[in-house]
């Protein structure tokens, strides 16, 4: 048994070593206060090639005042794995999925058109075949990276989607600036959320992590009332989240219909590091998920763009210590 375990550990070590030697297209940004690394979209060599999340803005690392905020929270890596991704990453709900027949296309903004393989319901964990990945262009600067995704006639939709990941001059802030121009003939109606895979100073999901809202929050779901409690304006763990635990709420409650409630803080009280997340859009829904390595408030906003209409929205991250 000892020899068997040694062999397993050796194989894992060799696998991690091989992974660490792989170079992915990337960019570094720095404003003298915050520095971060981004992985860039690439259909063949990119770090993330899955069909769940927007390919723009994968942030494997970000540092502020010696504190770290993101990292590899998962144990198994594959470029096409749906959640092998890091940072404040976003997912758009699919367009035309229910209308598409088996073998036809549907669209995910920031990914491309995908093939519907059967008559089952949409599943974000499914690795759908990509038929049309659109065209990505990337403009790298010292303190920001601009991503542009152009889709022409993807499942009947066309758009120009721009996302800029920018460090604000002179401030400990990162902002995600978005624009979506509908260049097609069909109206675009979708939702987008940020999964926020936080790992503040690599602290496990435990009593040292707290999530604070500007409203009295309530929540039901797996682990709520046992592993985590929603009380007043705060989510607090009662113990460490361990392997096999389930912490998930499909919809925290208490927020209103203005952007002032899109104001979420997640803090590591052990190391005194936190981040405040705000937006210029109102919350549509607020999901919460956690595993042993990451705690994730997932705020949704609703988006709609008529033909020839261009819409914009922002999400701001303010890093601080206390």
**Burial of residue 33, with CB atoms counted within 10 A of its CB: 0-12 exposed, 13-18 middle, 19 or more buried:** middle
Residue with tokens 């113990």: 239
Q: Write the pLDDT tens digit of every residue in 271-297.
A: 999 999 999 999 999 999 999 999 999
Residue 39: the pLDDT is: 98
Is the predicted pLDDT of residue 155 greater than 80, yes or no?
yes
Using an 8 Å Cβ cutoff, are 224 and 238 in contact?
no
Q: What is the pTM of this model?
A: 0.93
Higher pLDDT among residues 22 and 198, named by residue: 198
| Residue 199 burial class via C-beta count within 10 angstroms: exposed 0-12, middle 13-18, buried 19 and up | buried
The residue among 154 and 220 whose pLDDT is bigger is 220
pLDDT number for residue 20: 52
Are β-strands 285-290 and 26-30 bridged in parallel, bridged antiparallel, or unpaired? Answer: unpaired
Confidence of residue 21 (pLDDT cuts 50, 70, 90): low
- Reference 69, options 40, 39, 34, 41; nearest CA is 34
Mean local confidence (pLDDT), 182-190: 97
């Amino acid at each position: 048994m000892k020899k068997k375990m040694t062999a397993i550990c050796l194989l894992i070590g060799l696998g991690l070593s091989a992974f660490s030697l792989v170079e992915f297209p990337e960019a570094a940004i720095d404003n003298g206060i915050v520095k971060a690394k981004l992985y860039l979209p690439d259909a063949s060599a990119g770090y993330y090639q899955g069909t769940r999340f927007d390919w723009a803005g994968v942030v494997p690392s970000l540092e502020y005042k010696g504190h770290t905020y993101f990292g590899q929270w998962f144990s198994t890596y594959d470029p096409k794995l749906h959640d092998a991704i890091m940072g404040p990453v976003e997912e758009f709900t699919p367009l035309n999925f229910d209308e598409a027949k088996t073998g036809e296309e549907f669209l995910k903004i920031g990914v491309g058109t995908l093939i519907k393989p059967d008559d089952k319901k949409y599943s974000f964990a499914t690795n759908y075949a990509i038929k049309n990945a659109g065209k990505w262009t990337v403009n790298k600067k010292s303190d920001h990276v601009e991503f542009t995704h152009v889709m022409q006639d993807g499942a009947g939709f066309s758009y120009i989607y721009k996302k800029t990941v920018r460090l604000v001059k002179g401030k400990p802030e990162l902002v995600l600036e978005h624009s979506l121009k509908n260049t097609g003939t069909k109206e675009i109606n979708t939702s987008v959320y940020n999964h926020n895979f936080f790992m503040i100073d690599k602290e496990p999901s435990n009593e040292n992590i707290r999530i604070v809202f500007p409203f009295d929050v309530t929540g039901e779901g797996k682990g709520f009332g046992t592993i985590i409690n929603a009380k007043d304006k705060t989510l607090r763990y009662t113990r460490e989240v361990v392997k096999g635990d389930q912490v998930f709420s499909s919809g925290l409650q208490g927020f209103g219909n203005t952007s002032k409630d899109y104001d979420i803080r997640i803090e590591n009280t052990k190391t005194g590091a936190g981040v405040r997340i705000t937006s210029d859009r109102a919350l549509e829904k607020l999901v919460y998920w956690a595993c042993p390595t990451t705690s994730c408030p997932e705020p949704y906003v609703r988006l709609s763009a008529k033909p020839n209409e261009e819409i914009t929205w922002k999400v701001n991250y303010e890093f601080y210590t206390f």
